[in-house]
Each structure stands twice: as C-alpha cells, then as structure tokens.
Amino acid sequence: MSKRKQHHPEFNAKVALEALKGEETVSELASRFGVHPTMIHHWKQAFLEGASGVFERGSRKAPEVDEKQVKDLYAKIEELAVANDFFGQKAQTLDRQVRRSMIKPNQSDLSVSKQCAFLSISRSSFYYDPKGETEMNLDLMRLIDKQFLETPFYGVRQMTRHLRNADHLVKEKRIRRLMRLMGLIPIYQKPSTSKAAKGHQIYPYLLRWLRVDRPNQVWCTDITYLPMRQGFLYLVSIMDWQTRKVLAWRISNTLEAEFRVDVLNEAIHKFGLPQIMNTDQGSHFTSFAWTDRLSATLLKPD
C-alpha cells in the first residue's frame, strides 16, 4: 500500500491562493499542481479561515495568522471582482460576432468555458457552425435582386406576388427574411409633410366663406413626391387659387427650406404680391424661414 503524499504548508497556501484568485478552474489547478481537486477545496477553505498551521500534522502550536497577508488577499479578490465586472460590462456593448471572435480555444491558462462566461456567450453558440442558404433560397435571392433593380418600390407582398406569378411557390415569411438578409428596403413615401412641428405657431384658416374672384387674391402651395427609378424627388409649386395657374415650381432631393423660399421669391418677382397665402399647417410651412419671408412682404400666412 502506497503512502499518502505529504505537502508542505507553504505549498498548500500557494495552491489555495491560486484557487482564490479565480483565474483558473479547480480542475486546471489540480492538473497544474498534481493534486486532487478535493484537496484544493479543503485547502482553500482552511486558508480562508486564516490558519495556515492546520496543514502541519502533529503540531500543538497555535496557528499564527498573518493579518497583512489576509488583507492583501481580500484586496486582491476585490480588485479582481471589480475588474471582471468592468470587463463584462464593456464586453456587453460589443457585437456578438466580435465577442465570439475574441475567444481563443488554444489559451492554456484560461478555458473556453471561462472565456465564454466572461464574454457573456454560451459555450454551445461558440461551437455552433451556421449553415448557409439552400440552393433554392439562393436562386430566389437572385430573382429578388433582379426584380428589385427594376421596381425598387416593391415590398414583401408585391415581391411575393411577382414570384408567384413566375410559378415560384413561396410565402411572404420567406421573402421577408430573404429581403431583410439582403438589406433591401423598398422606396416609398415615408415622411409626412403635413405634420405640424412642436412649438410652431398655428395660423387661422382665412378662406372660410371667402369669395375668391380675382387673380393674386389667394395663392396656395404644397409639397409632393415624384417617384424615380432610383428613389424619389420632392416637388413644390405655387398656384393661383382663382386662375389655377402654376406660378412657380422647384424640384429637390431634400426638404431644405431654401428651395421652398426660392419658389416663393420667384412667384413674387413675376406676379407681385398676393393677399393670402394658403398652405397646410405642416412644419415646412410654419418654419421660421418660410414665415419670415412672408412677414417681410407683409403677407398674411395661412
């Protein structure tokens, strides 16, 4: 029968200290120091009790506790805990794929499980190898891309209807996923130009019960969209209410205030001043740039 191996107290304290640091698992420490994991748990508990002398056999001497060493140990534990929390919080802000790429499987002093725990990634997801798209989905993506170049305003429903008309048995759910995967967003009228802005003045309606019977009595203006092959343009025009004549117009690819004011200046330069300018209460016609130009010409904005 082999005799149990005896370890020096300093060796036991060293192993217990490494276990308290938490940088390696108990199994890794057992393999590193050539001891059983149960012994490490026992030494760790005994070390925390502050009596390194319990590892000495046959000694009746009262254990001596190094207060400075214990304080340093607790300070080190607290420092490591704060560092781990800080690293974990910073890692949470990174993209999942970035965190996944940070894991090093061949890291000898830190296991993959520990790295996954620090980076808030499940170990199974690290070993998961995603499958690519099927040949059928790749063919559908090519057809979607080709059709989207022709009709960039096609959404999921219209694209699904187009593929079904071409004898492809597909559902909206699949087309929605593929278009999202390809980053295709249909072009349509998103912003509403008639929404009032917070803080803008609301003007009264001046045309109620008003008889409009001569030119330059009332002008009106509005903004609309012109669909293009690649996107759309904004059209603003000014029209005389009585004659229905378009006095001035402009096209722009942005909703900047300058191109609306330019239209107003052109109409005033060509046809003089109206008595009333009728618009909706949208933020574009209640903005300072527009109302200031009307106020400068002593008009009554509506």
Region of residue 159 (phi > 0: left; psi between -120 and 50: alpha; otherwise: beta): alpha
The mean per-residue pLDDT over the stretch 118-134 comes to 76
Examine the domain organization and report whether 233 and 174 are in the same domain: no
The mean per-residue pLDDT over the stretch 10-35 comes to 76
The number of domains in the chain is 3
Examine the domain organization and report whether 288 and 233 are in the same domain: yes
Tokens of 118: 């620090």
Higher pLDDT, 118 or 152: 152
| Domain annotation covers residue 111 | no
- Whether residue 298 is predicted with pLDDT greater than 60 in this model: the reply is no
Examine the domain organization and report whether 17 and 79 are in the same domain: yes
Count of helices and strands (H, E) across the chain: 12, 5
Examine the domain organization and report whether 89 and 40 are in the same domain: yes
Q: Which residue, of 43, 65, 93, is where some domain finishes?
A: 93
| Domain annotation covers residue 99 | no
Range of the domain at 177: 135-182
Examine the domain organization and report whether 235 and 287 are in the same domain: yes
The alpha carbon of 181 is separated from its chain's Cα centroid by a whole number of angstroms, namely 16
| Domain annotation covers residue 200 | no
| Domain annotation covers residue 42 | yes
Which of helix, strand or coil describes residue 178? Answer: helix
Predicted pLDDT at 56:
54
| Domain annotation covers residue 107 | no
pLDDT, tens digit, for every residue of 61-116?
A: 555 667 778 788 888 887 777 767 766 666 667 777 777 777 777 777 778 787 78
| Domain annotation covers residue 246 | yes
| Domain annotation covers residue 236 | yes
Lowest mean pLDDT among 29-38, 56-65, 85-94, 231-240: 56-65
Examine the domain organization and report whether 222 and 176 are in the same domain: no
Average pLDDT, the chain: 79
Examine the domain organization and report whether 80 and 152 are in the same domain: no
Q: Which residue, of 37, 72, 93, is where some domain finishes?
A: 93
Flag whether the pTM goes above 0.75: no
pLDDT, tens digit, for every residue of 169-224?
A: 999 999 999 998 888 888 766 555 556 656 677 788 888 899 999 999 999 998 88
Predicted pLDDT at 57:
53
- CB count within 10 Å of CB 29 equals 19
Sequential DSSP letters for 212-224? --STTSEEEEEEE
Examine the domain organization and report whether 169 and 241 are in the same domain: no
- Whether residue 52 is predicted with pLDDT greater than 50 in this model: the reply is no
Closest CA to 179 of 214, 209, 152: 152
Predicted pLDDT at 1:
46
Examine the domain organization and report whether 283 and 238 are in the same domain: yes
Q: Domain containing 291 — which CATH number?
A: 3.30.420.10
Examine the domain organization and report whether 83 and 19 are in the same domain: yes
Q: At 301, give phi and psi (nearest 5°).
A: -70, 140
| Domain annotation covers residue 55 | yes
Predicted pLDDT at 193:
56
